[in-house]
Chains A and B, each alone.
Chain A
Amino acid sequence: MTLDDLDRALRGDEPIAPSSGFAASVRAAVAEDAAAPPPLRFPWLRLALGMAACLVVAAAGTLLAVSAAAPLAVGMRALEPLLQPLGYAGLALVLSLALLRLPVLLMRRF
């Protein structure tokens, strides 16, 4: 099969005509949409709080990793009991996001 064969096949695609009731159906859908209450506003405040929580967890994970390599500074020692659970939570979060993203990346590639 040559590129010319592909061109010919793709150029020859006949358009379909909308069914007779299509315009009326669109009119009804638009009227329904216009009559509907305005959509809920995007929850920016919740998003900001969630992002802040993620940052705290990520920072704790970083501190945990650093503290494993070197002792914590005196001022940070009070946080030590919190570091391990938050660090594991951060690691779980990162792994979950990576696992969610992986299939999408693979689909795009192949």
Chain B
Amino acid sequence: MAAKGRMDNANDEDAADAARVVGGDPSAFDGIVQRWQQRLVGLAWRFCRDRALAEDMAQEAFVKAYRALAGFRGESAFGTWLTSVALNTYRSRLRQLGPPLATLDPARVLAREPGLLRGLEEGQRDEAVRRAVLTLPPRYRDAIVLYYFHEMDVAETARVLDLAEGTLKAHLHRGRELLKRRCETLGLRPEGAA
């Protein structure tokens, strides 16, 4: 209940700041940046695992949101709208950058050295799993990244992706199966397994 109250307050503040920006006071955008910088940089980080690039992508997302603020009608929560703007910005940038690091492509890695990642420490293994997500086809990558970013909230993830919840669940299921196979191909094993 308290968390919902905080969210409502933040949403009110965002709506008020957005209205001030649209009304001709660009300094009101600072409040939006202060409240959302952590989330936008965090989301960008999950899409690229590179701090400098994440900040650059988040900055671009803020600029695009600033330009598009006049189009925010309050039909969805401000956070949902802003996350959608950021997601589109990140997708577009990732498309420009091309496929993620070629060395993460399991087929190429395994062609040289099967089971390359076997025997990693737990933290390294988890990080390898997160990086492997970036090699998935975009529709599965986006679903998985946002689902865990939103702490496994299917409804919010579906709203941001503009998908039906059933479609999102199908993407999550297919994406996780694909990720599991890729991780196995890379030689990633659960802790304690031979």
Contacts and interface: CB of A to CB of B under 8 A. Distances in A.
Interface residues of A, number: 30
Interface residues of B, number: 39
Contact of A23 (B33, B99, B152, B190): B33
A110 B137 CA distance: 7
A31 interface: yes
A26 to B, nearest CB: 5
A27 interface: yes
B126 A108 contact: no
Nearest to B148: A10
Interface stretch (B4-12, B58-66, B84-92): B58-66
B137 A108 contact: yes
Given A1-B189, A23-B33, A30 B66 contact: yes
The prevalent SS among residues of B at the interface is helix
Nearest to B193: A1
A39 to B, nearest CB: 9
A87 B157 CA distance: 48
Given A1-B184, A16-B51, A29-B62, A10 B133 contact: yes
B106 to A, nearest CB: 11
Interface string B45-79: 11000010011001100110011000000000000
B38 interface: yes
A1 B26 CA distance: 50
A2 B188 CA distance: 10
B168 interface: no
A9 B33 CA distance: 29
A10 B183 CA distance: 13
Contacts of B54: 16
Given A1-B184, A26-B62, 12 more contacts: A1-B188, A1-B190, A2-B180, A6-B179, A6-B180, A8-B126, A10-B148, A18-B38, A22-B59, A26-B59, A30-B29, A33-B63
Interface of A: 1-3, 5-6, 8-13, 15-19, 22-23, 25-27, 29-31, 33-34, 107-110
